[in-house]
A and B are shown apart, each in its own frame.
Chain A
Amino acid sequence: MRRHDGPVPFRGGGFSPRDQWVAGATTLLQIVVYWQILAWVGVIPTLFLPSPVSIAVTLWHLTVSGVLWENLSASLARLMIGWFTGTFFGMAMGITAGLWSAMRSRVMAIVAALFPIPKIAMVPLFIIWFGIGEGSKIVTIALGVFFPTVIATMGGVDNVPRGLIRMGQSFGLSTGKIVRSIILPGAAPAILNGFRVTASIAIVLLVAAEMIGAERGIGAFVLSAGNLYDTDALMAGIVVLSVMGLTVAGLIGVLERLLLRWR
């Protein structure tokens, strides 16, 4: 036997993480500040890794001269068309596979066979099929987005509580109404999570496709700067891609706050 006197210690904390955007922004800012300081004191050779200030100056020149927008607008157009196309067909296929047994096995077989193929390896083939123009790049992005969207959507549909669907059926709601009012909102958290993944995949594939065959676009710009050993411009292009990723993540965050207020 032993005594056990004293107050009961609190042990119920943690395991409830929340988003703190200020902490995220501060972390990025700290990295940039340290990077600048290390460049100033000469620890980082600016020939190989330009300082944040010189990247910012280059970005300013690119913006004023119109070069940045010329490349960015081309990339954004490809990104949006490719992502929306892949997302639209991916969601349609995911819902179909999630709801109908006849489609489920067929879709899963196609996904299992084609998803692991690196889409970048397909780019030369897409150029042969769809030409060197926009078609091959958009198809590359759309295909890269399609498969993860199918998987995320199907998983989301699978996780909608069956009791809610039975409720809809018991009130005689039509199949379309059940899909629109019960299944899609119920699958929304998983689908939005999928958006986060596919947005990043789309940016990666955009750059890869533009590096293989494009005159304009951030990927083509970065490749050209690298060929010329213009590290300031190269890093400016990379910063633009990073900002693009942050913006997309922010937009998806806004979408989540709008659509998932009920959580």
Chain B
Amino acid sequence: MSTGLRLIVDQVSHAWKALNVLDGISLTAEPGEIMVVIGPSGCGKSTLLNIMGGLLAPLSGTVRTEGEIADDCLNPLTYVFQDFSLLPWRSVRDNVALVLEQRLSANAAAERVRDVLALTGLTDFAGAWPKELSGGMRQRVGIARALVVRPACLLMDEPLSALDAQTRDLLLDEFVTLIGRAGTTTVYVTHNLAEAVRLGQQIVVLSRRPGRVREIFRIDRPLTGRSADDPDLKDLEHTLWRIIRDDAAVAERELIDAPP
């Protein structure tokens, strides 16, 4: 797997017409680190992630990477989507293989796909259509598709928010294992504070719109040793909620009042 990249966001601002969404965001995700971005609805978390991944050009500021990537890395900055974004007309195997087509020989691609399906527990579902899978299994396919390109940086946009609570807990544990094994830098956007403290090594709290960096927390505890009942993590979760609660309430009213 690829080693992580350093991802540097420098004074990024963005607006949708007259609506300022992000204002002077500066962040650094260190190589191999999991950075979690939280904030109230509409604060620009997903916009920031799209800018980080090159899917959106910022109005001002820059995003750059530093570091080396492995030769077998086919897509250094790789997304995992909230809605899975699977092609319904392709089987699980073919969805994963899509991103290798025209880049690797058929044999090399098949071998990679086989390995990643085994890693994500999808081997028995290789021939299934996406419509035949549960939400959790679909997101596993999304993860498999992201890992098969051996990324240096994973950009995860609320990957568990479309799933039920039980599936979310189970998949979160798998994320910890898979991301740890891949050794990638990860930027993980969520509104779920329990996920943030379970997964984050750096937690960035954005303010309500226009999103600004409000606070940054670091958790030094290893990912594998963290549990949902850990009192320190619970405390941090409460602290995060205290910080964003008022903003979240105001943001909720702003969303309702916002023009379509």
A residues within 8 Å of B by Cβ? 163-164, 166-167, 169-174, 177, 181-182, 185-186, 188, 260, 262-263
Contact = CB atoms under 8 A, between A and B. Distances in A.
Interface of B: 53, 55, 74-75, 77-79, 81, 83, 85, 87-90, 98-99, 101-102, 129-131, 145, 149
Contacts of A181: 87, 98, 101
Ranked 4 nearest A-B pairs via Cβ: A167-B85, A262-B89, A170-B79, A171-B99
Given A171-B149, A172-B75, A163 B81 contact: yes
Contacts of B87: 164, 181-182, 185-186
7 contacts: A163-B85, A164-B85, A167-B81, A171-B145, A172-B74, A173-B98, A262-B131
A170 B55 contact: yes
Nearest to B146: A171
Contact of A177 (B53, B77, B78, B102): B102
B147 to A, nearest CB: 12
Nearest to B151: A171
A170 B78 contact: yes
Contacts of B98: 171, 173, 181
A186 B90 CA distance: 11
A262 to B, nearest CB: 4
A257 to B, nearest CB: 13
B55 A166 contact: yes
Contacts of A174: 102
A171 B131 contact: no
Contacts of A164: 85, 87
A171 to B, nearest CB: 4
A186 B101 CA distance: 18
Contacts of A172: 74-75
A170 B96 CA distance: 14
Contacts of B88: 262-263
Nearest to A171: B99
Contacts of B149: 171
A170 B129 contact: no
Contacts of B74: 172
Given A170-B53, A181-B101, A262 B79 contact: no
Contacts of B102: 174, 177
A166 B75 contact: no
Contacts of A163: 81, 83, 85
Contacts of B131: 262
A222 B129 CA distance: 49
A163 B84 CA distance: 9
A169 B77 CA distance: 11
B120 to A, nearest CB: 17
Contacts of B77: 170
Contact of A173 (B79, B85, B89, B99): B99
Contacts of A186: 87, 89
Nearest to A164: B85
Q: B85, B99, B102: which has the most chain A beta carbons within 10 Å?
A: B85
Contact of A166 (B85, B89, B90): B85
A166 B129 CA distance: 21
B62 to A, nearest CB: 19
Contacts of A263: 88
B78 A171 contact: yes
Contacts of A171: 75, 78-79, 98-99, 145, 149
